[in-house]
């Protein structure tokens, strides 16, 4: 069992206030094993950068303890923490060449000239920028600068790398290429990485685990598939991917199913994930791709709902259909574009249903 003692990075009941009044990080507990790629994902102002800054040593925790390899970081001076960092604005030194930029962290660590040259060359090759050693940052494209920033964070072979939205300023294609390169490098070199983004796709595709932040707290910490398939509360369900939400009251709980009476009067089956008792209000959340309208494929005794087709959008690989269901006009279903898949027509009345386990009753 991984706990604060044997974790490589651990936050133990960490709180942070900048003004002595408002907590922007509230009781944060997090343990990372060596080599893990962990992403902090959350809306603006939720405390992600603050956590990174505390780990880097640029901010101190107001309460609690942060440990690196079992040692409280308060006892390690920042330059001895062996942490590589990449931030959104690349912050390369403009007056230095690429090679000089990379050599700098090695000089700080008092490495000899030949060692420096060898490490710089290797780091540049790693990000496929070997031919650019003599250029200055202003003579590089945004993506090339970002690769250099990455190489500079890795050149001294840190055990821990912190990245704060390093790809935010780049176009989609370059972002995707670098996402792939960063995770590959981190895994190849066995580097432990804390990555910050508010791009959920980036978080899901890159990470071993994702910590979803909201309001200074981790709302859920889980591998990408678990986060998507098994959100623990309605914030996570709404924040990760697309979700349909219906509201109602718990009418009955029996084992791993509950019956929810929706505000529209309809009753549906759901999985009671985050509900306590009968009579409590709840939000049920259903992924658009888990809704079935083909009668033959519906669970025999699942409750079904009547729906009116409002909009049908052909998206190539999938069909996206918006429905009026149980008092909402925003219910979306997605179906795969297969030869036998019916194309729905606005105005058409259909019946929809789902497996009870795909419909999660979460906190109201």
Ligand X SMILES: Nc1ncnc2c1ncn2[C@@H]1O[C@H](COP(=O)(O)OP(=O)(O)OP(=O)(O)O)[C@@H](O)[C@H]1O
Shortest gap between Cβ of 154 and Mg ion (angstroms)?
Answer: 22
Q: Rounded CA gap, 303 and 154, in Å? A: 55
Shortest gap between Cβ of 47 and ligand X (angstroms)?
Answer: 4
Binding at 26: pick from Mg ion, ligand X, none (beta carbon under 5-8 Å per type): none
State the burial class of residue 246 (Cβ atoms within 10 Å of its Cβ: 0-12, 13-18, 19+). Answer: buried
Shortest gap between Cβ of 129 and ligand X (angstroms)?
Answer: 27
Which residues of this protein are in contact with ligand X, per CB under 6 A? Answer: 18, 24, 42, 44-50, 198
Shortest gap between Cβ of 13 and ligand X (angstroms)?
Answer: 18
Choice between 162 and 237, CB closer to Mg ion: 162
Choice between 46 and 103, CB closer to ligand X: 46
Shortest gap between Cβ of 9 and ligand X (angstroms)?
Answer: 17
Which residue number has the CB closest to Mg ion? 49
Q: Rounded CA gap, 134 and 143, in Å? A: 17
Q: Rounded CA gap, 237 and 253, in Å? A: 21
Binding at 46: pick from Mg ion, ligand X, none (beta carbon under 5-8 Å per type): ligand X
Which residues of this protein are in contact with Mg ion, per CB under 5 A? Answer: 49
Choice between 12 and 165, CB closer to ligand X: 165
Q: Rounded CA gap, 154 and 140, in Å? A: 19
Binding at 44: pick from Mg ion, ligand X, none (beta carbon under 5-8 Å per type): ligand X
Choice between 239 and 293, CB closer to ligand X: 239
Choice between 48 and 116, CB closer to ligand X: 48
Binding at 122: pick from Mg ion, ligand X, none (beta carbon under 5-8 Å per type): none
Q: Rounded CA gap, 308 and 311, in Å? A: 9
Choice between 42 and 288, CB closer to ligand X: 42
Report strand pairing: 192-197 vs 37-41: parallel
Binding at 24: pick from ligand X, Mg ion, none (beta carbon under 5-8 Å per type): ligand X
Binding at 93: pick from Mg ion, ligand X, none (beta carbon under 5-8 Å per type): none
Shortest gap between Cβ of 350 and ligand X (angstroms)?
Answer: 40
Choice between 87 and 312, CB closer to Mg ion: 87
Shortest gap between Cβ of 200 and ligand X (angstroms)?
Answer: 13
N-term to C-term CA, the chain: 33
Binding at 42: pick from Mg ion, ligand X, none (beta carbon under 5-8 Å per type): ligand X
């Amino acid at each position: 069992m991984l706990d604060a003692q044997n974790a490589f990075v651990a936050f133990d009941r960490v709180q942070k206030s900048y003004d002595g009044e408002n907590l922007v990080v509230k009781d944060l507990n997090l343990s990372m094993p060596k080599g893990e790629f962990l992403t902090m994902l959350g809306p603006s102002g939720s405390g992600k950068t603050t956590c990174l800054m505390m780990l880097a040593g640029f901010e101190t925790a107001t309460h609690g303890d942060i440990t690196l390899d079992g040692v409280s970081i308060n006892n390690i001076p920042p330059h001895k923490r062996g942490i590589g960092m990449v931030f959104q604005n690349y912050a390369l030194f403009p007056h230095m060449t690429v090679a000089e930029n990379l050599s700098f962290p090695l000089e700080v660590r008092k490495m000899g000239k030949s060692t420096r040259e060898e490490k710089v060359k290797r780091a540049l090759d790693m990000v496929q920028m070997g031919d650019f050693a003599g250029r200055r940052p202003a003579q590089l494209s945004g993506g090339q600068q970002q690769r250099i920033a990455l190489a500079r964070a890795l050149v001294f072979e840190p055990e821990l790398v912190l990245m704060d939205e390093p790809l935010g300023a780049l176009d989609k294609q370059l972002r995707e290429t670098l996402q792939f390169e960063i995770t590959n490098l981190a895994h190849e070199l066995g580097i432990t990485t804390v990555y910050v983004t508010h791009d959920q796709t980036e978080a899901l595709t890159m990470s071993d685990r994702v910590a979803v932040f909201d309001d200074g707290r981790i709302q859920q910490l889980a591998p990408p598939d678990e986060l998507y398939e098994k959100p623990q509360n309605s914030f996570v369900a709404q924040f990760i991917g697309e979700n349909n939400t219906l509201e109602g009251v718990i009418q009955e709980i029996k084992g791993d199913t509950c019956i929810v009476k929706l505000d529209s009067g309809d009753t549906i089956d759901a999985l009671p994930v985050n509900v306590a008792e009968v009579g409590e209000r709840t939000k049920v959340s259903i992924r658009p791709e888990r809704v079935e309208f083909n009668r033959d494929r519906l669970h025999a005794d699942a409750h079904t709902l009547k729906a009116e087709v409002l909009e049908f959008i052909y998206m190539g690989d999938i069909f996206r259909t918006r429905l009026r269901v149980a008092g909402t006009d925003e219910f979306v279903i997605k179906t795969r574009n297969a030869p036998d898949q019916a194309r729905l027509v606005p105005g058409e009345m259909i019946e929809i249903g789902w497996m009870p386990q795909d419909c999660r009753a979460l906190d109201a």
